[in-house]
Amino acid sequence: MRVRVSSVILSLVVATLVIAAPAPHAARLEKRDEAEDKISDLLTKALESLGCDDCLAALVGVKEYAISDKSRVLEIVNNLCPTLSMYPTDVCTGVVYMQGPVLLDSIIAADLTSDDGRKLCFQAAGACPAPDIGDTTVIFPKPRPADPVAPPPSGTQVEVLHFSDWHVDEEYVPGTDAICNRPMCCRKYDDSPSNITRAAASWGDYSCDAPVKLGLDLLSYIPSVAKPSFSIMTGDVPPHDVWLEDRSAVLPIERHAYANMDNLGINIYPTVGNHESGPTNLYPTEASGGDLSWLYSSLADNWSRWLPSDAVDWVKNYGAYAASPQKGLRIISLNTNFCYRMNFYLYADVDDHDPNGMIKWFINQLQAAEDAGERVWIIAHFNPSQINCLQNWSAQYYEIVQRYSPHVIAEQFFGHTHYDELSIYYQPGIKDAQNAISTAWTGPSVTPHSNLNPGFRIYQVDTGNWNVYDSLTYIADLSQATTWDATGATPNWHLEYSARQAYGSYVPIADDAPLSASWWHDVTVAFESDSAAFQQYWTYRGKSANRIGACAANTTCPAQTICNMRAGMSSELCSKITFSLTKE
């Protein structure tokens, strides 16, 4: 899923938050048409203002209303959704009745007389100012060693493959309309018009998820350019049909996709994304109730072809695991859905800063690695510095990175945004090259949704310190898809750029030096003074599709982007949570 949450889900969030003003008992006796008119007026006002006071008052009202008649709340939202979102009834009904009950239950469980309401309004819709971060002091098993240093390189390098956000669409139909009235197109829907605005090419389209044949072609291309020792996959295999993604839909898609990846003949170390679950985003906590053992068991079964038995057992319990692909390296795969702001289960107890004990488990794994003298790669779907991560969870994660870097944590790898991005973590103090301690890589997506070329990445890594010495990003130019169909050609997979070569021209780097966090900080400094350098980054961020909009030098966009690269935790980001009903 992208940084901007699906407009259908956002419609649901706001609709649920403003479903009724504080309602006396008599209001529940209104006729259905009168109640719907009242709610429609309140909803329109809320969408126009997104004010904090309006949101808080609505929360109190919806809680009282939902306690007595939750099914009626869902019915009204479902009736209003097509008007609010401009999506058809099937999309609205699917999202409302899959996502809505969890959000309503969380609102009912929340203590709205405390700061819970403000936190919910802020995190879900940006309707209130950011609350103060609570006491997130992390307790570590052992103190940080004095003057810790990373191990030296071995001089031997291997290649590692990075996939992210595959979003394979097994129902992709070439020739169908790539422009439609649903969150994803290139499918044959019952109400699809006969006149086609833009016919979907068989290899894919910028408005749609990845057809099966595109992914298979990517897999067949990789051996021609790399011989990876192993691969990481940072989440999101199912497509963006969020109104259809239930248990029966996601399980076969995941099973087929992982079987296809297995054809590479190397171990793949996956992590769980927000789309792996059905319904999308919803990962219950022990406190909130709900059972996701069916998903964890299925993932454990699919991943058992690559993981050792103890890691498989962890997946069954946490949706997370630790495993060692080679001597001296431990991969920790986190389930960051427990920090995701659209995981509505989390709002039942916003003061639970470690849902399901993921933070505690993470610390134990890092401490075990430190004790064993191992290096660690962290892989997860969400970069905790992204705006989608709850601020308290993000602050704890940052403290953990500071405790175990640079001597234990070698690199961090994430997905979710679909972009080719990067962020930097620092020790406390000034954010400069000297204090930069860890790099977080966001891998490019396989899916072209939305307006991006499909891509993947190869890292060149030293087996002594397990740091990245170069990052090679490969793409296919999807604007040529109709030509491939017409000529019988296949996608023109090619090297888009080498990070070492592209940015080393702005910030020279020694031949034997890794692409360290300190070096990347200096690259961001170059971005501040050299517009051409920044624009090169912006082009690569969109995988050279040149379809994501400009980030002009005479706007605030470059400074905001650079700020976000240096943020490290979500509370320090320069971008803000926004609400939009615009179709992605």
pLDDT tens for residues 489-527?
999 999 999 999 999 999 999 999 999 999 999 999 999
Angle at 443 between CA 442 and CA 449, to 5 degrees: 110
Eight-class DSSP state of 353: S
pLDDT (tens digit per residue) in 343-402: 999 998 888 899 999 999 999 999 999 999 999 999 999 999 998 999 999 999 999 999
Q: What is the C-alpha separation between 453 and 542, in angstroms, rounded? A: 7
pLDDT of 32 over the 60 cut: no
pLDDT of 293 over the 80 cut: yes
Read out DSSP for 362-410? HHHHHHHHHHHT-EEEEE-SS-TTSTTB-HHHHHHHHHHHHHHTTTTEE
Read out DSSP for 176-233? SBSS-SSSS-SS--TT--SS-SSBPPTT--TTS-EEHHHHHHHHHHGGGT---SEEEE
Show which of 125, 145, 166 is a domain's final residue. 125
Using DSSP, state whether 439 is helix, strand or coil. strand
Which whole number is the average pLDDT over 290-303? Answer: 96
Residue 177 lies in a domain: yes
**Nearest Cα to 442, choosing from 283, 567, 574?**
567
Do 111 and 181 have their domain in common?
no
Residue 583 lies in a domain: no
Q: How is residue 233 written in tokens?
A: 């996959």
Do 262 and 384 have their domain in common?
yes
Q: Considering only residues 424 and 80, tell me which one the structure prediction assigns the higher pLDDT.
A: 424
Do 447 and 334 have their domain in common?
yes
Please name the helix (run of DSSP H) or strand (run of DSSP E) that holds residue 40, with its range, or none.
Answer: helix 32-49
pLDDT (tens digit per residue) in 98-109: 999 999 999 999
Q: What is the C-alpha separation between 523 and 538, in angstroms, rounded? A: 13
Which whole number is the average pLDDT over 293-320? Answer: 97
Give residue 61's pLDDT. Answer: 75
Angle at 296 between CA 241 and CA 293, to 5 degrees: 100
Sign for the pseudo-dihedral over CA of 119, 123, 125, 128: positive
Do 105 and 25 have their domain in common?
yes
The residues near 400 (Cβ < 8 Å, ≥ 6 apart) are 138, 359, 362, 363, 366
The residues near 338 (Cβ < 8 Å, ≥ 6 apart) are 283, 285, 346, 354, 355, 356, 358, 393
- Least confident interval from 208-217, 245-254, 510-519, 573-582: 573-582
Residue 49 lies in a domain: yes
Q: Which amino acid is at 96?
A: V
Inter-residue contact 258 to 304 (CB < 8 Å): no
Inter-residue contact 177 to 198 (CB < 8 Å): yes
Q: What is the C-alpha separation between 282 and 345, in angstroms, rounded? A: 7
Give residue 27's pLDDT. Answer: 39
pLDDT band at 5 (very low <50, low <70, confident <90, very high): very low
Residue 139 lies in a domain: no
Inter-residue contact 347 to 124 (CB < 8 Å): yes
Provide the domain count of the chain.
2
Do 565 and 456 have their domain in common?
yes
Residue 389, beta-bridge partner list: 340
- CA distances (Å), origin 285, targets 6, 282, 347: 23, 10, 10
Give residue 12's pLDDT. Answer: 52
Q: Considering only residues 439 and 56, tell me which one the structure prediction assigns the higher pLDDT.
A: 439
Do 121 and 162 have their domain in common?
no
Do 367 and 489 have their domain in common?
yes
Inter-residue contact 422 to 520 (CB < 8 Å): yes
The residues near 358 (Cβ < 8 Å, ≥ 6 apart) are 318, 320, 334, 335, 336, 338
Supply the CATH number for residue 446's domain.
3.60.21.10
Distance of CA 27 to the CA centre of its chain: 41
**Domain encompassing residue 64:** 7-125
Do 260 and 384 have their domain in common?
yes
- Least confident interval from 41-50, 213-222, 343-352: 41-50
Do 307 and 424 have their domain in common?
yes
Inter-residue contact 392 to 116 (CB < 8 Å): no
- Least confident interval from 131-140, 183-192, 207-216: 131-140
Inter-residue contact 126 to 50 (CB < 8 Å): yes
Give residue 580's pLDDT. Answer: 43
Q: How is residue 131 written in tokens?
A: 């609350």
Residue 138 lies in a domain: no
Neighbouring CB atoms inside 10 A of 140's CB total: 14
Give residue 39's pLDDT. Answer: 59
pLDDT band at 269 (very low <50, low <70, confident <90, very high): very high
Residue 506 lies in a domain: yes
- Least confident interval from 31-35, 196-200, 449-453, 471-475: 31-35
Sign for the pseudo-dihedral over CA of 215, 217, 220, 224: negative
pLDDT of 3 over the 80 cut: no
Distance of CA 128 to the CA centre of its chain: 23
φ and ψ at residue 36, rounded to 5 degrees:
-70, -35
Show which of 82, 107, 125 is a domain's final residue. 125
Report the half-sphere exposure of 442 (CA within 13 A, side-chain side).
Answer: 26
Do 427 and 311 have their domain in common?
yes
pLDDT of 30 over the 70 cut: no
Show which of 125, 148, 182 is a domain's final residue. 125
Residue 584 lies in a domain: no
Residue 134 lies in a domain: no
Do 234 and 312 have their domain in common?
yes
Do 176 and 112 have their domain in common?
no
Residue count of the chain, please give it.
584
The residues near 299 (Cβ < 8 Å, ≥ 6 apart) are 254, 270, 272, 276, 315, 319
Give residue 33's pLDDT. Answer: 62
Give residue 429's pLDDT. Answer: 92
Q: What share of the chain is helix, strand, coil (3-state, %, to 5)?
A: 40, 15, 45
Q: What is the C-alpha separation between 497 and 500, in angstroms, rounded? A: 9
Strand order in the sheet with 157-163: 268-270, 230-233, 157-163, 455-462, 468-475, 494-498
Q: Considering only residues 509 and 450, tell me which one the structure prediction assigns the higher pLDDT.
A: 509
Per DSSP (E only), the strands in 415-467 are 421-426, 436-442, 455-462
pLDDT band at 54 (very low <50, low <70, confident <90, very high): confident
